[in-house]
Chains A and B, each alone.
Chain A
Amino acid sequence: MKYDIIVVGGGHAGCEAALASARLNNKTLLVTGNINNIADCPCNPSIGGSAKGIVVREIDALGGEMGINADKSLLQIKKLNTRKGPAVWSLRSQIDKVDYTINMIETIKNQENLDIKETFAEHLIIENSTVKGIITREKDEITAKAVILTTGTYLNSNILIGSTKKQEGPHGEKTELHLSKDLKELGFTIQRLKTGTPPRVKKDTIDFTKAKVERGSDVPLQFSFYEKSNFNINKQEDCHLIYTTPQTHKIINENLEKSAMYGGYVEGIGPRYCPSIEDKLVKFKDKERHQLFLEPESKYYDSIYIQGFSSSMPIDVQYKMVHSLPGLENCEILKYAYAIEYDAIDPTQLKRSLETKIIENLFTAGQINGTSGYEEAACQGLIASINANQKIKNKEPLILRRDEAYIGVLIDDLVTKGTEEPYRLLTSRAEYRLLLRDDNADLRLSEYGIEIGLIKDQKELIFKTKKEKIENLLKELEQTITPTKQINEILIESNIKPIQDKVSLHDLLKKPDVTVDKLNYFIKEKYPKEVKEEVEIMIKYEGYIKKQIEDAEKQKEYEDIKLSEEIDYKKVPNLALEAREKLNKIKPTSIGQAMRISGVNPSDISVLMIYLRSKHE
């Protein structure tokens, strides 16, 4: 069998990769261990969140699927940080795990050019350091021009509960052992990572009167810029907030040595932002209680996810822990918490296109690259697929800069700095977060989507119309108004302070309480809500945004000085030893990237620039 692109793994990275590849007219094969687990959400029943919600919007703006699929599968949606500035607004949804998978399978099955095969990819076919295909568990050879590995936690995984360790995936499936060995033999540095997930309990055995209700938004919200969501905002499911009790803490403290983590049964490094409840107790001894959320998993089954209660305690201890929680005293536990450890590659062995440096045409995305989170995985799957497509068609890869997208921040961090724990996106990782907003993801990225071919037809039309409307509105706001009696009466009527001097509507809009709607009298054309909101943000925070744009432009000058892969930094005179080693390992593609490598000092950068110039002469 022959394909253009093979995607190994049907998780969030794999789905994006397979769909994008097929939509770009590549004959595509998606290999998955279990078709029914496509787009599975083995951890929290939630898509989005701070920074992550913006990534979902970015995926949508580039023509990916996650936003659309989440919109189809909502249980609850809200906008976070609305009391803060627009730069940190972000959508968070509770999704129905069952719907999410069903909807994604349907999209994949209906996608032209895309085949699904239920098997394991045991080996890669490599010739001259170039990948040529895969060999399945059944020893079938399937060839392709490019292969994208999105194996998630299934690479040599162990499930840990207390001191028991089982070689299996999250649902007790078989794990993939050979591939990891293959990669090691090819020269990849393999690291062991760990993550965990909390217990699930039966909904109708919980006494919710002891919990605080957490509701969703009261106005309709959706991730996708391009496909209208049919979700009824009045039919949202609630989440609930509870706290751990002194009894919970007593049980945990008395059994600490029995946990997989503290008992020393885990070798993988766990993420700091996803600590187990044991971790939280050990690290924050003085904290009297810890916050937990009860989140619904699906309307089809009666399961509640206890967010904040990850654990690697043995089952008998977990049983006591769960029953010490308010409202859960008599609950039925459906699934116990577990930790999972798995193999990942050192992401500094990747190019910024997500192609591996060692094997040509081999791309990797998601947890195999050391990240954590559905959204982080999905965006890498999309980028890896776009770049596999570009590669086999001899086109330039899509490299997003740090000032263009959270996706750019994530990939640049990974390939430049590597990661020692599963990497999660945080707003604080983005130095230009005023530019990387939720509202403008389409304006930032959809031009790329059009160029690549994933944003077309209806989507392209929607994008171009919005852009045009924004320009029109900005133009209308350039008009100035004079402080005549009539004008001031109109302003007062709209709750705007009367003006003393001639002023442009643009400048008037900078005042805190002034909105486009309040200036309705002066505006001719009708504009949709998102256009008005966009323009208000652009104008109200103009000064701050401008400052970041200037910073980004300065940095871009350094990003534009390219460094060839051919440079042997050992031969560059005057570089510090540490800089030499790091530069040879990372092989940055630009001076800008080199500046971000830890251990490379400003004087090394000067030396490099001088070296480049002397080479140039």
Chain B
Amino acid sequence: MNDTICAISTTLGVGAISIIRVSGKDAIEKVNNITNIDLTKKQSHTINYAYIKNNNEIIDEVLISVMKAPKTFTTEDTIEINCHGGIATTEKVLELLLNQEIRLAEPGEFTKRAFLNGRIDLTQSQSVQDLINTKSDKARALAINNLKGTTSNKIRSLRERLVKIITNIEVNIDYPEYQDIEEMTIEKIKNEIDNIESELESIIKNSENSKIITNGINVAIIGKPNVGKSSILNKLIEEEKAIVTNIPGTTRDVIEASFNLNGITLNLIDTAGIRETDDIVEKIGVEKSKKALDKADLVLLILNNNEKLTEEDKKLLEISKDKQRIIVVNKTDLEKKLDLNEENIVYTNTVEENGIESLLNKISEMYKLEQLETNDYYYVSNIQQLNKIKQTRRNIKDIKRGLEESIPIDMLEIDLREIWQTLGEVIGETYTEELLDNLFKNFCVGK
């Protein structure tokens, strides 16, 4: 139970710093394996300048906080790594930690530990439970919903291939007297293991290269002046706790704010100066909107429910028609005067508490429907899922070593089963009787 866990604790966005938290009895020792300084010799509650290294390659320049038990959030030995190199680098550091056999934390697990170890007051028990419930519900829902259909089919078919090998080995063990059942041998699975490995690697590679994972989706909010763009924007920022930044750059778009929606990073772009004054956003007209459109992956076109379509609205509809677009009909708290015949419409108001939920749902849904990314074929867009798939690398490594050392096939099967289970978690299939069902479905055995 008190094994060592890690997770990226900051929201994935374009914040300058990401923090990875590690907690558990081997935290200091294991993180020490990937740094250039000796953390075990550092005093508790110190911040240390260091490099994160993968063998001799420097991955990131970081600050490492060493906090020894019991005066930490979880009351366990805790390390916090402040990474500076952006999302890709942070992910790389996390991967190095996972390779140290540090387990990826479950949703809410740090808080859970803090509670179980008596760090959090009992009066907070209810809120801790709520937190774990919502977080894990969300994670479960994500596992099932937030995966591209093609990718989950791919993983499903990998699992089917695995289960075929596994049940064949199982049936050989449990029914050795059946001479007309094919015997699975190491020679026979060698190729298949290579295939499975390369497919898993391609999912990992695609996911890492996927623009969505590394950069997020660029979202432009357009609409005529005073239609409620800034209210929508502020509502998004407020409800989704967006990190508001202003990074003018030569090579990058101007990203005003970004927030994480069910694991996808959304960057609000080219809506200049939202922090300075609401007026500026509202004054962005058709000309400026055109510019924003070019850089956007997704366009939110805001219309006023309380008003008939104006010429300007029609123009905006026309110029954005070839884009991934959601038409946001705002101000539903007012009388309906708008008459519109378009696809992908959502109705919002910024007055009520859940007034823009329809918009958030629509974005998630569009993402799921593969309308945003059509170039990458097999990838996962969720960090948790990606890391789970990365976990299978260790099993593959063990199997390959086993193959070389002529380890009996029934032992290699233990790792095959682990891969099969992990992939099941990625796509939300964890039915335990599946193996047995499959065995009796596909093999005719029994006295």
Contact = CB atoms under 8 A, between A and B. Distances in A.
Interface stretch (B75-83, B281-289, B305-313, B407-415): B407-415
Contacts of B122: 614, 617
A436 B148 CA distance: 41
B133 A607 contact: yes
A610 B410 CA distance: 39
Nearest to B107: A603
B174 A50 contact: yes
Interface stretch (B23-31, B38-46, B65-73, B123-131): B123-131
Interface stretch (A26-34, A82-90, A326-334, A349-357): A82-90
B417 to A, nearest CB: 9
Given A428-B439, A558-B1, A610-B112, A85 B407 contact: yes
Contact of B444 (A198, A290, A609): A290
A280 B446 CA distance: 9
Contacts of A86: 408
Contacts of A617: 122
Interface in A511-545: 512, 541, 544
A7 B159 CA distance: 48
B176 A81 contact: yes
B432 A603 contact: no
B410 A87 contact: yes
A287 B411 contact: no
B339 interface: no
Interface in B108-155: 108, 112, 115-116, 118, 122, 125-126, 128-130, 132-133, 136-137, 140
User: Chain B: interface secondary structure?
Assistant: helix
A598 B432 contact: yes
Interface stretch (A246-254, A269-277, A440-448): A269-277
Interface in B1-35: 1-3
B201 interface: no
Interface string B284-316: 000000000000000000000000000000000
A84 B1 contact: no
A613 B130 contact: no
A88 B413 CA distance: 12
Interface in B81-121: 106, 108, 112, 115-116, 118
B177 interface: yes
A50 B176 contact: yes
Contacts of B1: 554, 557-558
A598 B122 CA distance: 30
A603 B444 contact: no
Contacts of A433: 410
B182 interface: no
A613 B115 contact: yes
Contacts of A557: 1-2
Interface in B296-350: none
Contacts of B132: 603, 606-607, 610
A312 to B, nearest CB: 14
Given A241-B179, A428-B439, A287 B174 contact: no
B137 to A, nearest CB: 7
B116 A613 contact: yes
A273 B446 contact: yes
A245 B388 CA distance: 50
A426 interface: yes
A36 interface: no
Contact of A606 (B108, B410, B411): B108
Contacts of A236: none
A254 B108 CA distance: 61
Given A610-B112, A610-B128, A84 B170 contact: no
A544 B176 contact: no
Contacts of B173: 50, 81, 84, 88, 427-428
Contacts of A43: 447
B129 A574 contact: yes
Given A275-B446, A428-B174, A574-B130, 11 more contacts: A50-B176, A87-B410, A241-B179, A273-B445, A275-B444, A308-B447, A427-B173, A554-B3, A574-B133, A610-B115, A610-B116
Interface of A: 43-44, 50-51, 80-81, 84-88, 198, 214, 241, 271-275, 280, 283-284, 287, 289-291, 293, 307-308, 310, 426-429, 433-434, 512, 541, 544, 548, 554, 557-558, 573-574, 598, 601-603, 606-607, 609-610, 613-614, 617
Report the 8 A-B pairs with minimum CB-CB distance, sorted nearest first.
A85-B408, A603-B136, A272-B440, A273-B446, A574-B129, A284-B444, A428-B170, A50-B174
